[in-house]
Structure 1
């Protein structure tokens, strides 16, 4: 067999010189026949080798009995067989020195015994050879600029698919087809498209990182089902940001399985989509909530550099020819978090000079007068130059459907003016949308997707430093919950203060309170993480007699509610009073790694879900940003004359808890202070309950 130099990963994936298709079918239209059909239809010129030992020809091409029989080592092998045969095909690829193999088959899930065994076999093959594996469960790849459509996705049967500068990476194979067809409608072309499947080896982030040096890629659209390979995603996001290539992502909701395994409120608060939000924000990736915004937002993102940390909310001007449509845009933008300041007196004066009467509200409604080209164009020229606005949204009304040259063409003619310009086209007006998009104006069919894309793109920040976000050693599966006293020791080591306490034995209670009263008496047991729920807390204890009475009450409550848990020790703690309560928590997310959570405190923390989440550790500036995001803490800033709390100390507490990400020895899996009392301004914060879960010390190497 003749061999050639091994191509680089990106070249083997998307511009291979030779491709083999194992399991290629001779039946036109069949799923396993599609890759050959698409390669022909889209004009791929490389060497193609169908491998099917049961046939002499496949779709008119010579069929080969095995990969070993080929005259060359193919750069990329697409395996279309069932799961068991796919394993053997990958093994053969590895032995031959194939750079990349893509496996379409399912049947590799860890949930069933045979699937787990197949995964283990693939891992062993990949780990002991130089082959890289895409999938399993991948529908393939496409790079239409090369004519490469190495995919079984039915959407590639459509003719006239455009080329462009967007690179799509999707953990869902079907989403590739949806984006392809929507992109054709929107006039968005693609440089490359990859379906990553189950990511047993190659992750979405690693593939994108391999592509980031391609000068023809202008931006990225990611479809995420999970956060597998967060480290690779982090490395890619930084490389893309450094090159000025925007990354937009649509993320499906996360499972709550992690939340069900948690022992603290933190697990529930940070076990859902909040972690995905926090990670993507930390990586400078614009997360959109609507599918349309994933592609339409590309127009906006290319014209707006990534912003510095702490940048203000975008100030948006809404200019319409239809009051109802303009009001819809204003409502959606405000709900998404935009600032809508209205025109300044100087802008009002300049509009008046152009014959346009504008008030000082959030909406500049041109009414029917705006359906004349010169009126809309003059108004746009003024507001695009106005320093009080960061972006402009134009809303043409019914004329957009039948006379786009009136109110739509002036919008198109203002494209590229140095300030982001978007349009929400109120009626169904496909010609108007095409005109705007061909001019580089982001044009939306709904106000929700318009607001979504605009706020997501403006929300991009430079990714956090890799050193601060390095992934720590994966914790062991076995874990232990610490009692409250041991939890205070861990948190104290991180720099967090707690109210004075003493530990007493049920068999030898002291005659007097061991701490200053009034005190809280609590059962001290790692088996009772939520003491109040079990009747394990008595408040307001003033003396020794009260201590003994409290102990009796707790012993009785345990016997009734948790009869298997002995009440042998108590924690007696001085009661403190603050002006507010907070929850500060830490959790090691299985995908995203360590995260820190700040929320309103108390037993109803999960119910209100008023929280802020970030990857840990965080610096002081990020902690202050988190404090500002929790609505409950606005009351502690002296709202309507209420006593101000020490929010600076609260931010310092967030930093302290986030340091648990770097704890030596047994890794901390979960930690929580709830409540953390916020004292009056200048007096600090103090913990009055704590919970820590860490990996078992006997499992730490």
Structure 2
């Protein structure tokens, strides 16, 4: 561990600055909870107006505390925090957690306040947790240094799951939900505004924590993606899964993007790509965040998941719910393979159909164990799921004994359970046995989907350098030159005025206005097709300039671009975006003016290699005909893959925010691709 880790993860000498002697006040809670839950370290309430606080000696200032301090929890009003940070620094306290709000989330004045606070802390080497942090809890170390009301609970189940949450209130909610399931935590840490310490950096500290087997993240945003990627790589090497629940899946911000790619490759899609590339499992339900760790702990990502499961049920309706939810998540419930059929036959159990219904065969432990053993041996599925009905509620020992026996037998494949009734005892027993157990078919499907999507962190290819400079306000001609530098050159002619049409063009041509202000030129009359000759080109250029000036009077016009008309088998959109949270991503999809409507795309963190580019192409439904579907002519998918790789190399240029080719015309196999329209946005 680093020097930071002990002070943050297991503080033994804690200063509570601004602690209150009134037990009804929020600022008294941290002291109350620390003692209530058994903290046996040194506690230093700091309050100049009290000699004792809640029965313990108080100190008038941080400087008056004897000896070193690991952690200062600042329980002060917002306006007093800045002045105290200097005292924390002078005392040599390595970490200060700040409860107060009113910082970066509170507008320009709050942003300035937070920047001043951070500058003081950094100059003195103090790390900040928060502001707006509900604090931190080490359950095994009995340090409940938090004001979250969930700590009113009589006891906190200790365990080996660590939670890092950007939401302080969710810290308590998840802890309470976990306790109801008998799930224990090693650490619960609220990061708040993340002015300094981020969930990403703290996840990295937890990778090295010997009391933690899995790291759960509740994220509102990804901050310091580089640190989270590094933590995820080390977590994979250490065999510690990182499982994330991230808000922000809606698309209300898409209209703010400058290009089609910006709308299609929004931050949530980029977050998905980031998690996948770095070996982080993502769940979409808060229930699954709690219920999925048992599915991941002790396992590695499947090299080639079949995206299929075996289902055994003691309730037809409950089993059908699970099968349906799994199907919605893109996971097939598969009829047993011959290998599994033999095992089911030997046990005298049904062996036909997608769902093995053993309701009439009873729920005897030996029968359940035999059935799950047979399904675990099925070579066509990734997981064996048992759906348990009323016996889970009223006969918990009988209901779970067969599953526990099958899991102990160790057939290699994960075994999981969905309990249809409210069955807390069965859930607890399964949890103690390390068997994933789910309360709803939706969380069951979400967790299994996340497990099958889970990948090892990928090693991105080396992009090499790209020697290309862009003007401050690039137009399409500048974008074309950029793509040409990447190897995507489609011959065009650039001219400044209608009377400056160059000789030697191959007609018919397409004509476009050039402007750094017009991302969508069609909408203002800035595109004309099938112009037959030079005279028509000059006339159309003059008319186009007049149209665009009338429809977009504020746009700067920089000239014209002419390109020979080209026709291929299909059109693609090929785009790049430097996401503000997740970093560079590359996108390919069905292209043209309908790209945003269909949203038929594949997205990856950039850069990518050829194999990954080909995998992206196979994910896009609109490009499947180009593989020769039902005898159709094949397109040049190799050229398209090379183009994806080329555009992904823009990750090496930090001054580019977005870039796009739409459409990229795909010709017949062996005939390459043509850039028909291009756009670039500087960072």
The aligned residue for residue 199 of structure 2 is 204
- Choose which of 329, 333, 342 in structure 2 pairs with 1:340: 333
Closer, same or farther: CA 442–469 of 1 in aligned 2, 3 Å: farther
The aligned residue for residue 287 of structure 1 is 282
Q: CA deviation at 1:423?
A: 0.8
- Choose which of 419, 443, 450 in structure 2 pairs with 1:425: 419
CA distance in 2, matches of 1:546, 1:569: 17
- Any idea what SS the aligned residue of 1:672 has? strand
The answer to whether residue 5 in structure 2 is matched with residue 10 in structure 1 is: yes
CA distance in 2, matches of 1:595, 1:90: 39
- Choose which of 671, 678, 682 in structure 2 pairs with 1:683: 671
- What aligned pairs does 1:66-81 form with structure 2 within 5 A after superposition? 66-81=61-76
Q: CA deviation at 1:355?
A: 1.2
The answer to whether residue 431 in structure 2 is matched with residue 440 in structure 1 is: no
CA distance in 2, matches of 1:362, 1:333: 12
CA distance in 1, matches of 2:581, 2:267: 12
The aligned residue for residue 501 of structure 1 is 492
The answer to whether residue 541 in structure 2 is matched with residue 551 in structure 1 is: yes
Are the aligned partners of 2:294 and 2:435 in contact in 1 as well (CA < 8 Å)? yes
- What aligned pairs does 1:323-402 form with structure 2 within 5 A after superposition? 323-359=316-352, 361-402=353-394
- What aligned pairs does 1:244-283 form with structure 2 within 5 A after superposition? 244-253=239-248, 259-283=254-278
Larger CA deviation: 135-144 vs 626-635? 626-635
Closer, same or farther: CA 586–286 of 1 in aligned 2, 3 Å: same
Closer, same or farther: CA 567–24 of 1 in aligned 2, 3 Å: closer
User: What is the number of residues matched between the two proteins?
Assistant: 678
CA distance in 1, matches of 2:173, 2:554: 55
- Choose which of 188, 205, 214 in structure 1 pairs with 2:209: 214
Deviations 1:174-220 (A, max 9, x none): 11111111111222111111111111111112112122222221111
Q: CA deviation at 1:615?
A: 1.6
Deviations 1:583-640 (A, max 9, x none): 1111111222211111211112122222222221111222122112222222222222
The aligned residue for residue 185 of structure 1 is 180
Closer, same or farther: CA 564–43 of 1 in aligned 2, 3 Å: closer
The answer to whether residue 624 in structure 2 is matched with residue 634 in structure 1 is: yes
Q: CA deviation at 1:363?
A: 1.8
The answer to whether residue 86 in structure 2 is matched with residue 98 in structure 1 is: no
Larger CA deviation: 649-658 vs 121-130? 121-130
Are the aligned partners of 1:7 and 1:99 in contact in 2 as well (CA < 8 Å)? no
CA distance in 1, matches of 2:393, 2:526: 68
Are the aligned partners of 1:587 and 1:595 in contact in 2 as well (CA < 8 Å)? yes
Are the aligned partners of 2:269 and 2:603 in contact in 1 as well (CA < 8 Å)? yes
The aligned residue for residue 699 of structure 1 is none
Q: CA deviation at 1:258?
A: 6.9
- Choose which of 76, 79, 84 in structure 2 pairs with 1:89: 84
The answer to whether residue 157 in structure 2 is matched with residue 162 in structure 1 is: yes
- Choose which of 564, 569, 572 in structure 2 pairs with 1:582: 572
Are the aligned partners of 1:391 and 1:420 in contact in 2 as well (CA < 8 Å)? yes
Deviations 1:377-412 (A, max 9, x none): 221121112222221111112332223344433123
- Choose which of 439, 442, 449 in structure 1 pairs with 2:443: 449
- What aligned pairs does 1:439-518 form with structure 2 within 5 A after superposition? 439-465=433-459, 480-498=472-490, 500-510=491-501, 514-518=504-508
- Choose which of 563, 567, 582 in structure 2 pairs with 1:573: 563
Gaps of 5+ in 1: 1-5, 696-701
- Any idea what SS the aligned residue of 2:333 has? coil
Are the aligned partners of 1:315 and 1:341 in contact in 2 as well (CA < 8 Å)? yes
The answer to whether residue 134 in structure 2 is matched with residue 139 in structure 1 is: yes
Relative to the length of structure 1, the TM-score reads 0.92
Closer, same or farther: CA 264–297 of 1 in aligned 2, 3 Å: same
- Any idea what SS the aligned residue of 1:658 has? helix
- Any idea what SS the aligned residue of 2:407 has? coil
- What aligned pairs does 1:527-676 form with structure 2 within 5 A after superposition? 527-565=517-555, 569-663=559-653, 667-676=655-664
CA distance in 2, matches of 1:250, 1:240: 17
Closer, same or farther: CA 313–157 of 1 in aligned 2, 3 Å: same
- Any idea what SS the aligned residue of 1:503 has? strand
- Any idea what SS the aligned residue of 2:561 has? strand
Q: CA deviation at 1:335?
A: 2.2
- Any idea what SS the aligned residue of 1:102 has? strand
Q: CA deviation at 1:513?
A: 6.8
Q: CA deviation at 1:517?
A: 2.1
Are the aligned partners of 1:373 and 1:407 in contact in 2 as well (CA < 8 Å)? yes
Deviations 1:131-169 (A, max 9, x none): 111111110001111110000111011012111111111
CA distance in 2, matches of 1:134, 1:528: 44
Larger CA deviation: 569-578 vs 635-644? 635-644
The aligned residue for residue 194 of structure 1 is 189
Are the aligned partners of 1:21 and 1:78 in contact in 2 as well (CA < 8 Å)? yes
CA distance in 2, matches of 1:454, 1:504: 57
Are the aligned partners of 2:207 and 2:231 in contact in 1 as well (CA < 8 Å)? yes
CA distance in 1, matches of 2:244, 2:650: 29
Are the aligned partners of 2:213 and 2:241 in contact in 1 as well (CA < 8 Å)? yes
Q: CA deviation at 1:354?
A: 1.8
CA distance in 2, matches of 1:372, 1:513: 87
Gaps of 5+ in 2: none
Q: CA deviation at 1:469?
A: 10
CA distance in 2, matches of 1:530, 1:520: 15
CA distance in 2, matches of 1:11, 1:561: 63
Deviations 1:326-380 (A, max 9, x none): 2221222222232433211232233222212322x43222233243333322211
